[in-house]
Structure formats: structure tokens, C-alpha cells
Amino acid sequence: MKVAKNVVVSIAYQVRTEDGVLVDEAPSNQPLQYLQGHNNLVIGLENALEGKSVGDKFEVRVKPEEGYGEYNENMVQRVPKDVFVGVDELTVGMRFIADTDMGPLPVVITEVGDNDVVVDGNHMLAGQELHFTVEVVDTREATLEEIAHGHLHQEGGCCSGHDHDSDEAGHSCCGGHHHHYDHDHHHEGCCSGHHHDHEDDHHHGGSCGCKH
């Protein structure tokens, strides 16, 4: 069975940045499974997989516009520390989920000042060309439930992709009327999205609403 819309595909892969740094991988004995044709991968990789068969091996370079978009300065904001209620100490590298008018958005703290912090809502691979080495391990027909939902419940890992809507003009990472931050322990795999980045949201509070 060839890779086509509504086919469940298992792939082994490695993905590297344009500098050759390995950022994620799945071996053939633990492949990534996803539903083709429902934007579960970054579009450049999903397009490259279309029509492939089990056993096919290939490499593809995915430009930012078909990956995580260009780096968007509008996604970087300075916000007061007091919106992070329930967090004892704010440090560079801490990740949160910001509740924005555009929906939940993962952000990372990039700078900590005396009274405020800088948060960045760009995906960690925004603006980068990605180099994938891929093998199609298996294919099968999707169930009606999987097709109706548009994804597999166990989907996750490096290549799933709805979290890269970072190129929307004016999309502010803390924007709108909500300033709600939940502490996030996502591993944020290289191509991941749907907000099930490895299905381990350990939210520890940290919101201006706020829940623990």
C-alpha cells in the first residue's frame, strides 16, 4: 500500500538542522506512526512521503516555509513577572503554555529582568531548513474513527505538526485579553505539533488565572 491520504504510515527517520545537528530521530524498531493527509507532519515532509511504499528510503530538505515558518519577531514579547502566579523562580529556558486569543501557544523564557521577562512563541526550529533521512517502515488502512479524528491517538514525536502557525502576522505570544501561563514540560520534538508533543504536559501552575 502506497502512502496516500487516510493511510496510517510508520516511518523511521533522523532530522538535522542545516548545521548538521541531530535534533530528533525514531529508529525502525520504534517508528513514528501518523495519519497521512491530515497535516500531522510538517507539510514539506508529508508531501515528500506521498506515493512512497514500504521499504522506500529517501532524503528531503524542508525549507522554513514548509516546516515551521520564518522566525517571527512579533512572537517575542516582554511581559511582567506577576503574570506568572505560582512560579517561585523564573529562569531562562523555562517553557510555558500561554493562553492567547489564537489558542494555546508554547513559549519559552529567553530573558529575565528585575520586573519582567521576555518570552518567545516561535517554534525552536522556526527559520531553519531541516534535513530528513526517512524510511517507510509500514502502512495500513486507517480506521473510520482515526479518519474522523484526523489523527492517531498515540501520535506524537518529532514530525507531527500543527504547532508551527508562528508565521501569522501580528500573532502575539501573550496577546489578546488572556495572559494565562501554564508551566510546560514538553520535550517539543523537532517537528511536533497538535500539542501532543510527547504527550507529557506536566502543568505545574504558573498562570495569571491560575491553576496548579
Q: How much is the average pLDDT of 85-96?
A: 90
Question: Which grid coordinates belong to 109?
Answer: 523564557
Whole-prediction pTM value? 0.67
For the ranges 60-64, 72-76, 86-90, 158-162, the lowest mean pLDDT is seen at: 158-162
Domain positions in the chain are 7-68+126-149
Higher pLDDT, 16 or 211: 16
C-alpha torsion sign, points 137, 31, 153, 127: negative
- pLDDT (tens digit per residue) in 21-49: 999 999 999 999 999 999 999 999 999 99
Alpha helix ranges (H) inside the chain: 43-49, 144-149
Q: Which of 33, 28, 25, 173 is nearest to 102 (CA)?
A: 173
* CATH code matching the domain that covers 7-68+126-149, chosen among 3.40.228.10, 3.40.50.300, 3.10.50.40, 3.40.50.2000: 3.10.50.40
> pLDDT value at position 101?
82
Q: In 3D, which of 119, 144, 142, 122 has the Cα closest to residue 206? A: 119
Q: What is the pLDDT of residue 186?
A: 39
The string of pLDDT tens digits covering residues 153-194 is 765 554 554 443 433 333 332 333 333 455 544 333 344 433
* pLDDT over 50 at 147, yes or no: yes
Exposed, middle or buried by CB within 10 Å (0-12, 13-18, 19+), for 150?
middle
Distance of alpha carbon 100 from alpha carbon 64, whole angstroms: 24
- The cell for 117 is 521577562
Of 12-26, 98-112, 145-159, which range is least confident? 145-159
Q: Which residues contact 65 (CB under 8 A, 6 or more apart)?
A: none
Q: In this structure, which amino acid lies at residue 21? A: V
- CA 133 remoteness from chain centre: 19
Higher pLDDT, 127 or 205: 127
What are residue 38's phi and psi, to 5 degrees? -125, 30
Count CB-CB contacts under 10 A for residue 138: 15
**Peptide bond before 210: cis, by omega within 30 degrees of 0?**
yes
